[in-house]
Structure 1
Amino acid sequence: MLATEEGTERDVRTGSGRLLLLFATLYGAYGALSPFLPAFLETRGLGPSEIGTLLSAAMLVRLAAGPLIGRLADRHGAVPAFLAGGLALSALLTLAFLGGHGSMLLAIALAQAAATAPLAPLADTVALAGSRDGAVYGRIRGAGSAAFIATTVLAGSIIGIFGYGAGPLACGVLFAAGAALTLRLAGNAVPARPAEDAGGGFAALAADARFRRFVLAAALVIGAHAMHDAFAVIVWQATGIGPRVAGLLWAEAVLAEVTVFLWLGPRLLARIGPDRALALAALAGALRWAVQAQTSWLPGLVLIQALHGLTFALLHLACLRLIVETVPEQRRATALTVYGTFGLGLASALMLLLSGFLYDHVGTKGFWVMAAVSLSAVPVARGLPDIR
């Protein structure tokens, strides 16, 4: 009996280690390409308007493909297999960028967008099946954020020597490594059984008031980041903050995210619960954007950049906890892809459009609108305990 227990503990440790490596390769792949993709496309003959069109079209494809592939993974009870296949296909299509030029890149980019759309939600599904402990998931997801930072820095250095083609090459290799790791996890990560309600995944989620409510809260908090993501560096540079310091401020935000994933977030969730954690994330966002609307004083920026750990990482941990509590495991990949699409992706896309209009007409005062949007999520989150 003792030997059996020791073997089980060893299997759990091995599975957690492989999950950590999987997240490191997945988010490392994102870090190797996403910051440098526009510049790579420019070297392959695309002009600014063509790059904008390609990136916008790719976003639309992701919004459509993510939930559909997540639903198929649930329907067939094969989340790890879909994740491994998606990573392998993403590797091939990312490497195909190296052979593309001009208009050919649009077809490659759209196919690559469809393949990569469900990767993060499917990886979350595997991680949540492997462990329901928020601290364990936090360590796994924190490793992904840390890998994103590391590969972004490393890829920037390599690109400086070998050119922008190094980005797709590194990304493709990391996706392939992720596929191999996922195959090693496939035996114990998610029960290989189809969903009993194979045709009702989206309808069941849409009918769940609790699910709808926390996805709306997430959309408001994450959407409010849009103006910062698009214009923060421009605002900072206009006030005399150079690229090096701006990069450090951005890195500080990601480091705060890692800290919350690894340590603070699971403790807060255990103490105050996911609904209050969502409300705290919304309040932190309102404070962050209100300060940004008033000043670009460097010490103030240092303080509010640290709030990113609450406005993103804590929110994400809270939403995943709510998905575990609300959604049966057979619909979890569907739920995570819907959450990722509408709570994160679509909200950001729509708020980016509003942010451009606001910045064009009122400048940094537009951050007051972002503060109000984030604050509006507080009553949404606080109403969650009333819905059962």
Structure 2
Amino acid sequence: MSPPLRTGFSRVLALRLSLMHALNFLGVGFYLPFFPVWLASTGLGDVDIGYVLAIPILVRVFVASSVTGLGDRLRPNILLALLNALAALAYFALAQQADLLPIAVLTALSAIALSGVVPLADVLTTAQVKAGALKDYGRVRLWGSVTFVLSNLAGGYLIAQHGAWLIPFVLAGSSALAALAALQAPSPPAGISPAAPRGASAAGFGVSFWLAVGAAACVNATHAAVYAFSSLHWRSIGFSGEAVGWLWAVAVLAEIAVFLVGGSIAASGLIGLRWIAIAAVAAVLRFAAMSVDPGLAITAVLQLLHGITFGCMHLGTLAALSALSPEARRAAAQGRLVAVSALVMGLATVLSGYLYRLFGPGVFLAMVPVALLGLVLAALAFLNSRSNTGLGGRI
């Protein structure tokens, strides 16, 4: 293929994958802020709402690995389309319900389907990066963050103008669009060797893989307190609603910037473990500083670190897992990451609830030892990988 044709092919490929990521995250941007609002509008009490919101976390722990692993036996893009279509049907049915049991069952069904969506999209994208057909994962993935922010804004407008009853229909429509986007996404390139890295177990995943998964899960879990209680705490110390909104926007914009500038990290192999370690150090600084309520201006600066604590962690994890798992089990590898991350995040979220009640902003300081554990696990994964492969860089 001549260079101009190759460049044109790469651009079309990036466009197709960008559309897939953008529409996958469209529904997430509506769900996270506004699904609890819809649950409350049905008449469910606070306790019942808590039960329903816990369902997706439990599903990711117990089901995500199996659902995502199907992508090793089926075409991942077709499986992704089917999962999004199933989620759309579940959300549409959910719009007709007002009682706890059917809402819980349909939420579980949608969560089962959606547990495989993001990891399968990453499988499809990183396969193209590893094959050399796509240069930069980050410039494709950032469109998911963009649509997440836009759907946050659109959801607030829709609820203000029309009420919360629209939310399940919006979620159904978003998942249906994501299913169509998945159908046009390219399948992984053929001909990539499925050989496992040295030191892998008979199942394809060795000690280094599990250490890397543990490191990523710990660094990701340091965000539990900020996700669950930062808005509540910021309002309690006098930050306006507009200021809180901007603090969240700053974090997502920093994430987008890292994907834009540092997206090639996702193709860096074992060096990805170093980026997980960098994210862990940034998490120590970010959450230790947040625990002392440094004021609005410094809090905004700390929110910029989200680009490192999440963006670099995510990109580094993709690189490390790509190096430490066989091609034939890359979907299963992503599924295991989702399951372990959900378990650690769930535990950290529950712990954060107790700590916030007892210590207020001290809950952010409690994330520091979690980050340090992630740093240690990343270092152990890197050292173990070097001893097994004799390589210090890309494998």
Normalised by the length of structure 2, the TM-score is 0.89
Q: Quote the offset at 1:171 in angstroms.
A: 2.3
| Aligned length, in residue pairs | 379
Matches of 1:372 and 1:33, distance apart in 2: 30
Checking the alignment, whether the CA contact within 8 Å between 1:77 and 1:192 is kept in structure 2 is no
Q: 1:182 to 1:268 in 2, by over 3 A?
A: closer
Q: Equivalent residue for 2:86?
A: 89
Aligned equivalent of 2:98, options 93, 96, 101: 101
Deviates more, 1:177-186 or 1:315-324: 177-186
Matches of 1:130 and 1:271, distance apart in 2: 14
Checking the alignment, whether the CA contact within 8 Å between 1:278 and 1:315 is kept in structure 2 is yes
Q: Equivalent residue for 2:232?
A: 234
Checking the alignment, whether the CA contact within 8 Å between 1:32 and 1:167 is kept in structure 2 is yes
Checking the alignment, whether the CA contact within 8 Å between 2:63 and 2:115 is kept in structure 1 is yes
Matches of 1:313 and 1:52, distance apart in 2: 28
Matches of 1:45 and 1:119, distance apart in 2: 30
Q: Equivalent residue for 2:70?
A: 72
For the pair 1:179 / 2:179, whether they are aligned, the reply is: yes
Matches of 2:34 and 2:380, distance apart in 1: 41
Q: 1:261 to 1:73 in 2, by over 3 A?
A: same
Aligned pairs for 1:62-211 (under 5 A) are 62-74=60-72, 76-103=73-100, 104-132=102-130, 136-186=136-186, 188-189=187-188, 191=190, 204-205=203-204, 207-211=205-209
Given residue 272 of structure 2, which amino acid in structure 1 is its aligned partner? P
Q: Quote the offset at 1:63 in angstroms.
A: 2.1
Q: Equivalent residue for 2:24?
A: 26
Q: Quote the offset at 1:270 in angstroms.
A: 5.9
Q: Quote the offset at 1:240 in angstroms.
A: 0.9
Aligned equivalent of 1:291, options 283, 289, 296: 289
Q: Equivalent residue for 1:61?
A: 59
Matches of 1:191 and 1:170, distance apart in 2: 36
Q: Quote the offset at 1:108 in angstroms.
A: 1.0
Q: Quote the offset at 1:131 in angstroms.
A: 2.1
Checking the alignment, whether the CA contact within 8 Å between 2:222 and 2:371 is kept in structure 1 is yes
Q: Equivalent residue for 2:392?
A: none
Checking the alignment, whether the CA contact within 8 Å between 1:256 and 1:307 is kept in structure 2 is yes
Given residue 157 of structure 1, which amino acid in structure 2 is its aligned partner? Y
Q: Quote the offset at 1:86 in angstroms.
A: 0.4
1:60-114 CA-to-partner distances (Å, cap 9, x unmatched) read 123222111122221x242112111101111111222211121321111111111
Given residue 85 of structure 1, which amino acid in structure 2 is its aligned partner? L
| Structure 1 unaligned spans of 5+ | none
Matches of 1:86 and 1:271, distance apart in 2: 29
Q: Equivalent residue for 1:347?
A: 344
Matches of 2:211 and 2:236, distance apart in 1: 39
For the pair 1:361 / 2:358, whether they are aligned, the reply is: yes
Q: Quote the offset at 1:217 in angstroms.
A: 0.9
Deviates more, 1:209-218 or 1:130-139: 130-139
Checking the alignment, whether the CA contact within 8 Å between 1:282 and 1:377 is kept in structure 2 is yes
1:362-384 CA-to-partner distances (Å, cap 9, x unmatched) read 22223222112212322222233
Given residue 143 of structure 2, which amino acid in structure 1 is its aligned partner? A
Q: Equivalent residue for 1:224?
A: 222
Given residue 179 of structure 1, which amino acid in structure 2 is its aligned partner? A
Given residue 204 of structure 1, which amino acid in structure 2 is its aligned partner? A
Aligned equivalent of 1:215, options 213, 216, 221: 213
1:272-324 CA-to-partner distances (Å, cap 9, x unmatched) read 93122111100000000110111241121011100000000100100100111
Q: 1:119 to 1:300 in 2, by over 3 A?
A: same
Q: Equivalent residue for 2:317?
A: 319
Q: Equivalent residue for 2:393?
A: none
For the pair 1:383 / 2:380, whether they are aligned, the reply is: yes
Matches of 1:135 and 1:356, distance apart in 2: 42
Secondary structure of 1:383's partner?
helix
1:132-191 CA-to-partner distances (Å, cap 9, x unmatched) read 3796210111110011001110121122111113322222222212211221225x4354
Q: Quote the offset at 1:221 in angstroms.
A: 1.0
Matches of 1:298 and 1:51, distance apart in 2: 31
Q: Quote the offset at 1:223 in angstroms.
A: 1.2
Checking the alignment, whether the CA contact within 8 Å between 2:265 and 2:272 is kept in structure 1 is no
Matches of 1:327 and 1:269, distance apart in 2: 14
Checking the alignment, whether the CA contact within 8 Å between 1:69 and 1:118 is kept in structure 2 is yes
Q: 1:137 to 1:289 in 2, by over 3 A?
A: same
Checking the alignment, whether the CA contact within 8 Å between 2:23 and 2:181 is kept in structure 1 is no
> How much is the aligned-residue C-alpha RMSD, in angstroms?
2.6
Matches of 1:267 and 1:323, distance apart in 2: 12
Matches of 2:246 and 2:202, distance apart in 1: 44
Secondary structure of 2:33's partner?
coil
1:328-373 CA-to-partner distances (Å, cap 9, x unmatched) read 221011101111221x311110001111121222222232221122
Matches of 2:185 and 2:354, distance apart in 1: 46
Secondary structure of 1:45's partner?
coil
Secondary structure of 1:324's partner?
helix
Checking the alignment, whether the CA contact within 8 Å between 2:266 and 2:316 is kept in structure 1 is no
